[in-house]
Structure 1
Amino acid sequence: MESARDKRTREIVEAEDLWLLDSVDTEGYVCWGCGITMHPAAWEKDKKVRAYFKKKRNIQHHHDCDADAETTVIRQGQKESVRNILDSAPGLMPSGLKLIEQRPVVEPDIAGGENNSSSTRSVSSASGEGNSPERQSRRQVNAIRNICRAFIRFPHDRDMSLNIPGIDAHTYKAVFRKLRAPIQRYQHRRVNHSTLVWKKFEQDEGRLIISLSGEWEKDEFGDCKASRPYKLHIEWGDWSQAKRTLVRKELEAAKEEAKEAWKKKRDERAQIFFIGEQNADNPEIFHVTDYRLICAIVGHIAE
């Protein structure tokens, strides 16, 4: 699973965010749908794969677990609209972005046991609803990753609403923008996306530079190569080491996943999503200053 609920804070935590932590409580998470224990996996700093949560082999999700049913919904959403489901699913199709630096924490006696977990219980309402929360609709998230996953997974529902501060568009279809060739200047702030080029990252104390798809040309052997790629400058000079590690590991994991997909001849690529500023002098360069405004996801984007 990509996410689980923290037993202590009652917050739904994405597996990638475990890379931010100095230590991980391997017994501290439960399924947000039915409350069974979920163990973090591949979260260690030396792992080259993406972090995730897994259950014990002999334990099954409850028969009506919303989290366990996600796979079926996602598969169906690739073929047709599933809006009737997404409207009442808090995490599958986020309603917007709300950046909150400090994560809320509840009192220990509120956190409760495993069986108190619910797919509809938000952090802000956990202390007021006790053990009988009402089903909630779509929720805001604190980073763009889940928003971008929804964009890929549900191509037939991109007319659903999406509100991101600083962006003057309000549906998934209008908010997302593919960076296209030739290199050009864009007038409006959007969630940009492009394919990661398999090139070594450049980095120093001030920034990490990654190459994206852009303008291409054929070499003497007839193979295409990037002649003028878009470049993303991740300005991490004032970031903590944990935030740098999260972004770098996600990019590295996406590159490895994309290579594996290529070997298996799957139509999936490492897709980079970000909200950033285009350089005033060099339109091929974008700058990102917040680790929550960039993510890397391997998948196929239907247009």
Structure 2
Amino acid sequence: MESARDKRTGEKVEAEDLWLLDDIDTSGYVCWGCGIEMYPSAWQKGSKKRSSFNKMPGKEHINCDAESTVVKQGQKKSVRHLLDSAPGLMPAGLKLIEQRPVVDPDATGSENKPSSTHSASSTSSEGNAPARQSRRPVNAIRQICRAFTRFPYDRGMSLNIPGIDVDTYMTVFKKLKDPIQSYPDRRIFYSQLLWQKFEQDESRIIIPLSGEWTKDESGKPKPSRNYKLQVEWGNWSKAKRTMLLNELETVQEEAKEAVNKKAKERAQVFFIGEQSADNPEIFYVTDYRLICAIMGYITYP
């Protein structure tokens, strides 16, 4: 699983976000769908394998909407009846919060917890699934982008992104197309990540994306002119820079493995950014919460 719930705070935690932390409580997480204990793997800094949460040996999910069976169903048909009451699967929107609520680690009663989270006692009890909740906003685009990829038959569901003037999953996302062109409307853009090296220094990293293609002498396609995503990370912490770089390098390796296995999934970069007025090849991103890279096969049924 790509996310779990923190036993202490009740907050849902993305596995990739563990790269931001210096100290990990490996016994501090439970499944956000059914409450069984989960442990993090590949969270160590420098790991080239994608971080994840795994169930403890001998344990199974119990009537769990967070389990992979829902995702498998969603690839073939609408599962809106599940998504409407499973806040972690299909977020309602994006709400950027600079500071998370402070939770008293010694508090045990739900009255001391933020109203949008579960108390530790309600999630740590194995087999006792948290109470149903409606869809809610998230603080970064990664969960939103996973939902877009996973549930193609439910893209008519609402999605509220500040600064974007459309309001469904189908309309908010926009693929960068060949040939290179201008995109006047703000959207969550996405494009396939190329296998080229990243240009980077202390102020920025430039991520090569797909664009226009030609064929070489052997008839193989090669990029001739491509989009570039310039991430201005000069004021980011070292941990945030490392997290993004790890994520990019991980999906590049995953993409190579997918091609070798003849799988359909590809490395996709999603972002909310500004296109250069002078050069339509270039987009700019400044906020680490507005970019992510995931493996996926994006269909339009």
The alignment yields a C-alpha RMSD, in angstroms, of 2.0
1:167 CA displacement: 0.4
* Paired residue secondary structure (1:273): strand
The number of residues matched between the two structures is: 292
Structure 1 residues 146 and 265: CA distance shift in structure 2, 3 A: same
**Which runs of no fewer than 5 residues in structure 1 stay unpaired?**
117-121
Task: Look up the equivalent residue of 1:40 and give its one-letter code.
Answer: P
Q: How does 1:92-111 map to 2 (within 5 A)?
A: 92-111=89-108
Within the candidate set 252, 255, 260, 2:252 is matched to 255
Q: Which residue of 2 aligns with 1:50?
A: 50
Q: Kindly provide the CA deviation profile for residues 181-237 of structure 1, in whole angstroms up to 9, marking residues without a partner as x.
A: 111111100000000011011100110011100011112222211111000001101
| Structure 1 pair 82–247 and aligned structure 2 pair: CA distance change class (3 A) | same
Per the alignment, residue 37 of structure 2 pairs with 37
Partner residue in 1 for 2:125: none
State the shift of 1:59 in Å: 2.7
State the alpha-carbon separation in 2 of the partners of residues 243 and 128 from structure 1.
28
Q: Name the structure 2 match of 1:66.
A: 65
Question: What's the counterpart of residue 5 of structure 1?
Answer: 5
Is this contact kept in 2: 1:29–1:39, CA < 8 A? yes
2:207 to 200, 205, 210: 210
User: Aligned AA for 1:253?
Assistant: T
Q: Please point out which of 185, 194, 199 is paired with 1:197.
A: 194
Matched, 1:17 2:8: no
Change (3 A) 1:30 1:134: closer
Amino acid at match of 1:65: C
Q: TM-score w.r.t. structure 2 length?
A: 0.92
Matched residue, 2:115: 124
Q: Deviations over 1:154-187 (max 9, x none)?
A: 1111111000001001000100000001111111
Kindly provide the CA deviation profile for residues 57-109 of structure 1, in whole angstroms up to 9, marking residues without a partner as x: 12333x32333xx3111111111111111111111111000011212232234
Q: Residues 111 and 227 of structure 1: is their aligned pair in 2 closer, same or farther, counting only changes over 3 Å?
A: farther
CA distance in 2, matches of 1:22, 1:144: 23
More displaced stretch, 197-206 vs 96-105? 96-105
Distance 1:38 1:11 in 2: 14
What secondary structure does 1:38 align onto?
strand
1:272-301 Cα distance to aligned partner (Å, 9 max, x none): 100000011111000000011001111100
Q: Give the aligned residue type for 1:86.
A: L
Match status 1:279 vs 2:270 = no
Q: Give the 3-state SS of the residue equivalent to 2:37 in structure 1.
A: coil
Cα shift at 1:139? 1.2
Give 1:125 shift: 3.6
Hey, what's the Cα distance between the residues in 1 that align with 2:259 and 2:172?
A: 29
Question: What's the offset of the Cα at 1:35?
Answer: 2.6
Equivalent-residue separation in structure 1 for 2:167 and 2:149 (angstroms): 17
**1:200 and 1:111, CA in 2 relative to 1: closer, same or farther beyond 3 A?**
farther
Aligned residue in 2 for 1:119: none
Contact 2:19/2:43, CA 8 A, preserved across alignment:
yes
Change (3 A) 1:181 1:126: closer
Greater Cα offset, 212-221 or 146-155: 212-221
Whole-Å separation in 1 of the counterparts to 2:118 and 2:53: 25
Change (3 A) 1:193 1:221: same
Are the equivalent residues in 2 in contact too, given 1:167–1:175 (CA < 8 A)? yes
The one-character-per-residue Cα deviations of 1:13-49 (angstroms, maximum 9, x if unpaired) are 0100001111211122122223332111100112101
User: Does structure 2 conserve the Cα–Cα contact (< 8 Å) formed by 1:8 and 1:111?
Assistant: no
Whether the 8 Å contact between 1:29 and 1:38 is mirrored in structure 2 is yes
- Percent identity reads 67
Match of 1:141 among 138, 143, 153: 138
Instruction: Give the C-alpha shift of residue 110 in structure 1.
Output: 3.5
